Amino acid sequence: MIPSEPPGAGPALAETVRGLQERAARALPAEVVEHADGWWLRHDSGSSWWVASVLPHGPDGPGGPGTSAATAGLARRVARAEEFYARHGGTARFQITPDACPAGLDALLAGRGYDRSHPVSLQAAAVAEIPGQRAGGPLRVRIEDRPVDAWFGVWLAVRGEGAGAAAWGLLDRVAGPSAYARVLDGDETVAVGRAVADSGWAGVFAMATLPAARGRGAGGRVLGALAEWAGAHGATGLYLQVERDNPAALRLYARAGFREVCTYHYRTAGAKP
């Protein structure tokens, strides 16, 4: 799928979505990853909770969607995932993307008492269509290949999660080419973001702007700088993931040319019925 085109449906869309989500999993590498029949079972003891979720890709199972054999197979795979999280002292949580994960999984998890939460929009844009950096003005952008204290400080000040050695450890595990963008107002870092290049795409993560600097185009500067970096590293498309209840971020990404590819949500183990 070309990022600037409206997404379609069916196998082509599912393949695109799986590819982007697996790139994101490599850009947000958990401490422990176990691959089981196409599912990514991920555990992380200190980073953001979504890093430690199941990415349930792979076939529907024997017999095809909706059959008793497929349902039984799904139940076995869910039980294996639950055993994985019990072993590691974590909570079982699944990332559910219609058409990209097995049919019937969402309903099966609901029946097992899993709570639904956190609707997310997966969005993409062509690198060539992202507005470039504007010349002039007090804001300037710096890109480094490693996170510095000033970059990390803004991220933690805005998001307040993934703090400490665990977050640094996650970034140390990223294997792909990475860019850490900072927008400076004078000597002060006021906005940040990062990107990871992977097989023709670059994922955008950790976008954050200090409250006092909002409304001045800092977020757009970050995206423009990361797009230029991505293009120089062979990427033709950018992708990102944004919670659907974040209107300010949705507006920023729409202005930059991002379009929704699909939506997904999470199912988290709760009280059994």
Give the C-alpha separation, 224 to 210, whole Å: 18
> What's the rounded mean pLDDT across residues 166-181?
94
Check residue 4 and give its pLDDT.
44
pTM (two decimals): 0.94
pLDDT higher than threshold 80 for residue 109: yes
pLDDT in tens, 176-197: 999 999 999 999 999 999 999 9
Q: Residue 201: is its pLDDT beyond 90? A: yes
**What are the CA-CA distances from residue 231 to residues 10, 118, 142, 177 (Å)?**
29, 31, 16, 12
pLDDT at 156 over 70: yes
What is residue 63's predicted lDDT score, i.e. its pLDDT? 65
CA dist 267 and 102 (Å) reads 14
Contacts of 32 (CB under 8 A, 6+ apart): 42, 43, 44, 88
Dump pLDDT digits (tens) for 50-102: 999 999 997 776 766 678 888 999 999 999 999 999 999 999 999 999 989 99
pLDDT at 230: 98
**179 φ/ψ sector (left φ>0, alpha ψ -120 to 50, else beta):** beta
Residue 120 sits at φ, ψ, to 5 deg, of -130, 145
What is the residue-averaged pLDDT of the chain?
91
pLDDT bin (cut points 50, 70, 90) of residue 145 is very high
Position 128 confidence tier, pLDDT thresholds 50, 70, 90: very high
pLDDT confidence of residue 273:
37
pLDDT at 2 over 50: no
**CB-based burial label for 178 (10 Å; 0-12, 13-18, 19+):** buried
**pLDDT, mean of residues 139-157:** 94
Q: Kindly state the percentage of the chain with pLDDT values over 90.
A: 79
Q: pLDDT at position 159, please?
A: 81
